[in-house]
Structure 1
């Protein structure tokens, strides 16, 4: 296939086809977030006009047919012919990617849009879009279907995407549909999102719309934003926002606590130079060094609480993931407060051992509410969704403005401001001391368990209780059973330690071999009481040690090996009756339910018990499902089944391991596990004569 790969296999997507083919590249997603992003692309165009001083009213209307309409009183989209394309300004803006007034042509000093794709992307992803422009005493109209201009044969009831559409064949037309006053200007855009692109469940969130409309009104003082939700004609909703105080009012609105300071405004600006392609009047792009201006507006205050609320914006566009302006703010804040605290170290009673360098960002940010806004031409964002500012030079400018202005505030001679500054410094130092003290206390009081000791196995899933009498350590056979046991256990008092397969036979191994064996060493280290003659029962970290192995021959073998370890090297645990064997079931019977009874389950622990239960159920007329579940291992059980049958203290059965007849027990261990093979072979041969072959699980 590779030899047949040629230029004819390449696809070239032109114009709005690229948007429809890869919508995620332009709006992020095709769910509700993408739908909201499209709406804000249209609204932000009107907000950019308001930022430039054109228009003071924006209306957003959600119609019953799920269309969205945005109206403004700005200059209106240009209606004259754009010389390069021969199309009207309206058609250029709505159909051409990277076309608009935000490419350094002097139309906008600062704007939220900068890629020139917002309106055209919305048009491409709309089943229908209509735009009306009021300019020169007339209302001009143009309509589109999925980005293609044409005419709609609308019924008398109003515009609808279900109407018949006729695309323009030769020339597009911007139709005059009415008259307005000479001084009346503005743009109205109404669109129906294309459900071929967006998920059926995608919708506009009224709460999110209102939140961002209020936020925008805070950031553009004097702008009126009206939101109308007419989707339910019987219960329409309308809210209007207008604020004159800007970011200062915004901080007061979002602050989660009572302030210990007034809201301080830190404003300033800076310049930087960057090399950018500049569009010349002739249409050529020429790289030039351009000086940019960056205006910084920061409003902040500290409150009585400890939560941090910081919002960042670039030309009123929210940057929820921060960027260089947030980094510059934090840098300036840290540098300023460390310097001022160092200058007042004696008054704040900061000892040499505390050190100013101990003050960290979290100490300063505790209780801080801040709104950071920067305004600049052609900012660099990471993608069309504009969530992160990437313009590098902004960091140094914001840091310098914050450092200069905040230093002046904190060193202000005014009585009220000076008292508030002292409160902030004391709050930061107190937060630092509390953090350091909490860390020390945590280290001192931390339980010395296996997870916190480098020599102990990390695979131990420890319990939380400090009461040794209540704690239980389950030694689990295999990692597969461990996963189920983690879900089944009660983590307050039940700990889990997995072992891999069959451990070392310690009856015929040396002490050195036993201590070098990973599984044996893990068990001894987790119990924390030593081994052999140095074993200290009082130091054991768990009240019960429960051996949980499969109910088969291999499980019995592993259990015997574990018991050998406990018997030889941790004998006091056995003598104290603190070693147990879990008793998992062999079978599960499912009894069919009826109108009066729910479905029931019965667990049996031997073949004899199984047959007895089957006979009794048959005698009682109860129906048992034919597929009787036979558990071959703990890993086959669900967590709730393992909990009910084996781990829940209120329902399980445990077999206590005792050594009342120590000499007899030691003889059996020596016979089964010792170095002398002859007696063990005789025992197996003698026992083999009475063995029922049908019982062998093979």
Structure 2
């Protein structure tokens, strides 16, 4: 086990290279300048405070979202960034940490046994991408301040008047509007991340001050990830099939914490972390967890002769309905990119697997009633998956399967290949009729749906597979669903959701997105899924015709053409009202239509939103509505 020294001074700060590239190519360091990249600035500073807590030097972290909604302060009671001059550069260590890439105290392992910010990049990147940044350090009974502007020192290191008690670091920053197109931090996103920090670091008090909404919350979880698992289950509306969760805690050279439970849900949900940093894209530690879990369950099934007849149990069957939290603390994590969303350490797969397998086997053998209920759930999943496979295998691309196997309501295209083919999934038979007449039948297929589709977030796989509308979608696409999805069998290049532009249409689109995200996520990952944006208004001004997507767009058009002639405004009640020619011009024609590609930037946040909006727990939706009630100036009913 490595030792951590108590001393921490300028000589411990190692500089590797300069700061110049950051402002030119911010995406290389924070993944982009959208909302995900904007919030990543907070995570970088918070991770530094967490590193102090992980190594026993801090017990409190406070994050403040200021009244303007665009500036953040992160404070901790750690040791404080060193302020003495570096022996080589003769600059204050604080200035080096905030202005030089790869400058930090985490390279040699002497001051930090484990850390998330091992690259020495985070603080300097935040500084480089901030309009203003102020650092205040409390050390040796005094307080020091240094201010920066767009990554460059605005003032020298200043020693403030008066003595202070304790130690720590406070970083306040405002992102640069010339870098980020929109600076509007989302309070719910910050709160969720900070609560997760408190779950992963037992005993650390994390406080969130939201000056915009005038709220203050403190998170402190003594049971750590066990409390976290309970919250995830509640948020997702997932009903466990056994009461006591499996819990594994190891604390040696590699600290590992794992807890999991099987539920009635139809998907697998794993949240993994390395040194407190979420690895949304998984990595070798998740691979080790899955491998160890699969082997443990199979060993239990074989030992107790529980293998079912007539059905083959796959790895996916074993993990269906599983909800797990995995947290590792290691000395030298190798992340994929500065955003650190995937762990690449090859040795971690074996470490996690060899830790999980024997512990899981022992737990199952010591809790036979729990283990038997888990095995029964796995066998049921295997049987349901076999039925699903039979349904999806019944249809393949033209030439490989008979046309009579396709749904009768599908108006297919003439093209035999999928290179340019498109499938429009249309709300209602009336709209489907207009779309069939207005389309280009050479490469555009139309599948009308009747009414609102099933909410798959609250349905079992059996119920989903029995739903006629979903059966028609699966048959039309021809690639199967869930783990059996095979993109080689996909019959269309683009799958386009086409619903009315009103609130009902938005709801139907959300229901469809939930189905695709939960059961056909590969279509989203490969960029095959789109949302069509039909107009809500037709505006005739003189001899000109304009199409408005919503009320805001309508007002913009009226403002741009004000005074020319009295506008004549028609609001479409639905797509079925549009003449086929109009539907082609506004929504179907690739040259004039507007399509939105469905993409997922943050899987954890997307999962949370879908669980809140579509899950069994109505209280999450109630909170969502109440928090945004003031923003709803007009409700479309």
State the TM-score bracket (shorter-chain normalisation): 0.5 to 0.7
User: Which residue of 2 is the match for residue 32 of structure 1?
Assistant: 35
Counterpart among 348, 353, 371 of residue 394 in structure 1: 348
Cα drift, residue 266 of structure 1: 1.9
Describe the SS at the equivalent of 2:112: coil
**Distance in 2 separating the partners of 1:32 and 1:475:** 42
Deviation at 1:147, TM superposition (A): 2.0
Q: Relative to structure 1, is the Cα distance of residues 491 and 213 closer, same or farther in structure 2, using a 3 angstrom cutoff?
A: same
How do 1:588-667 and structure 2 match up within 5 A? 640=584
Match of 1:394, SS?
helix
State the shift of 1:486 in Å.
10
TM-superposed deviation, 1:78: 1.3
Q: How far off is 1:359 after superposition?
A: 1.7
Q: CA deviation at 1:303?
A: 1.9
- Of the three residues 391, 400, 416, the one matched with 1:454 is 400
Shift of 1:392: 0.5
Q: Deviations over 1:572-624 (max 9, x none)?
A: xxxxxxxxxxxxxxxxxxxx9899xx99xxxxxxxxxxxxxxxxxxxxxxxxx
**CA offset digits 1:501-554 (Å, max 9, x no partner):** xxxxxxxxxxxxxxxxxxxxxxxxxxxxxxxxxxxxxxxxxxxxxxxxxxxxxx
Number of residue pairs matched by the alignment: 433
**Match status 1:19 vs 2:7:** no
Partner of 2:323: 369
The answer to whether the Cα contact below 8 Å between 2:142 and 2:159 also exists between their aligned partners in 1 is no
Structure 1 unaligned blocks of 5 or more: 1-12, 152-171, 271-292, 500-591, 600-635, 644-698
| 1:193 matched to 2:175 | yes
2:593 match = none
Alpha-carbon shift at residue 298 of structure 1 (Å): 0.9
- Out of 164, 180, 190, the position equivalent to 2:164 is 180
**Partner Cα separation in structure 1 for residue 424 and residue 350 of structure 2:** 54
Flag the 1:440–1:474 CA change in 2: closer, same or farther, 3 A: closer
Give the whole-Å Cα distance in 2 for the aligned partners of 1:486 and 1:307. Answer: 24
The counterpart of 1:464, out of the listed 407, 427, 435, is 407
Relative distance call for 1:95 and 1:329 in structure 2 (3 A) is: same
Alpha-carbon RMSD: 3.9
Out of 89, 112, 117, the residue aligned to residue 108 of structure 1 is 112
Q: Would the alpha carbon gap of residues 404 and 268 (structure 1) be closer, same or farther in structure 2, given more than 3 Å must change? A: farther
1:90-147: per-residue Cα shift (whole Å, max 9, x none)? 1121122111111024111111110001111111111211111111111111111222
**Please, which of 218, 234, 240 is the counterpart of residue 218 of structure 2?**
240
**SS of corresponding position for 1:20:** helix
Distance 2:152 2:386 in 1: 64
- Give the 3 Å change call, closer, same or farther, for CA 344–24 of structure 1 in structure 2: same
How far the C-alpha of 1:196 sits from its partner, in A, is 1.7
8 A Cα contact 1:329 1:402, kept in partner: yes
Corresponding residue number in structure 2 for 1:383: 337
SS of the residue 2:38 aligns to: helix
* TM-score, L = length of structure 1: 0.56
* Equivalent residues of 1:463, 1:491 under 8 A apart: no
State the match for 1:229 in structure 2: 210
Q: Please list the CA deviations of residues 435-464 of structure 1 after superposition, one character each: whole Å capped at 9, or x if unmatched.
A: 223434665xx47xx9465276xxx79962
The alignment partner of 2:43 has SS state of helix
**Which structure ranks higher in relative contact order (CA pairs < 8 Å, sequence separation ≥ 6)?**
2
Distance 1:18 1:418, change over 3 A: same
SS at match of 2:33: coil
1:253 and 2:247 equivalent? no
Kindly provide the CA deviation profile for residues 150-170 of structure 1, in whole angstroms up to 9, marking residues without a partner as x.
Answer: 33xxxxxxxxxxxxxxxxxxx
CA displacement 1:222-241 (0-9 Å, x = unmatched)? 1111111213xxx4122221
Aligned to 1:61: 64
**Secondary structure at 2:350 match in 1:** helix
Which residue of the other structure, out of 269, 281, 285, is the alignment partner of 1:309?
Answer: 269
What SS does structure 2 have at the residue aligned with 1:454? coil
Q: Where do residues 535-614 of structure 1 align in structure 2 (5 Å cutoff)?
A: none
Structure 2 CA distance for aligned equivalents of residues 423 and 484 of structure 1: 42
How far apart are the structure 1 equivalents of 2:102 and 2:541?
Answer: 70
Q: Output the TM-score relative to the length of structure 2.
A: 0.61
Q: How many Å apart are 1:489 and its aligned residue?
A: 5.8
1:367-446 → structure 2 map (5 Å cutoff): 367-412=321-366, 417-440=367-390, 446=394
Contact 2:132–2:150 (8 Å) recurs in 1: yes
Deviation by residue 1:606-665 (Cα, 9 ceiling, x = unmatched): xxxxxxxxxxxxxxxxxxxxxxxxxxxxxx96655999xxxxxxxxxxxxxxxxxxxxxx
Q: How far has the Cα of 1:338 moved from its partner?
A: 1.4
CA–CA distance in 2 between the matches of 1:371 and 1:130? 36
Question: Following TM superposition, by how much is the alpha carbon of 1:27 offset from its aligned partner in structure 2, in angstroms?
Answer: 1.1
Of stretches 133-142 and 258-267 in structure 1, the one that deviates more from structure 2 is 258-267
Secondary structure of residue in 1 paired with 2:229: helix
The match for 1:99 is 103
Cα distance between partner residues in 2 of 1:486 and 1:217 = 43
Q: What's the CA shift for 1:185?
A: 0.8
Change in Cα spacing, 1:410 to 1:455, as seen in structure 2 (3 Å) is closer
Larger of the two Rg values belongs to structure: 1
Cα 1:190/1:338, change in 2 over 3 Å: same
| Contact kept in structure 2, 1:484 and 1:638, CA below 8 Å | no
Matched, 1:46 2:36: no
Contact 1:321 1:388 in 2 (8 A): yes
Residues 61 and 74 in structure 2, CA contact (< 8 A), matched pair in contact too: yes
| Residues 641/309 of structure 1: CA separation in 2 closer, same or farther (3 Å cut) | closer
Q: Write the deviation string for residues 321-340 of structure 1: whole angstroms up to 9, x where unpaired.
A: 00000111111111111121
Report the counterpart of residue 677 of structure 1 in structure 2: none
Question: Is residue 324–residue 390 contact of structure 1 (8 Å, CA) maintained in 2?
Answer: yes
User: Is 1:339 the equivalent of 2:299?
Assistant: yes
**1:268 alignment partner, SS class:** strand
Would you say the 8 A contact 1:322–1:389 is kept in 2? Answer: yes
For the residues of structure 2 that align with 1:332 and 1:485, how far apart are their CA atoms?
42
Report how far residue 297 of structure 1 moved.
1.4
Partner secondary structure for residue 179 of structure 1: coil
1:465–1:51 distance in 2 versus 1, CA, 3 Å: same
- The answer as to whether partners of 1:464 and 1:491 remain within 8 angstroms in 2 is no
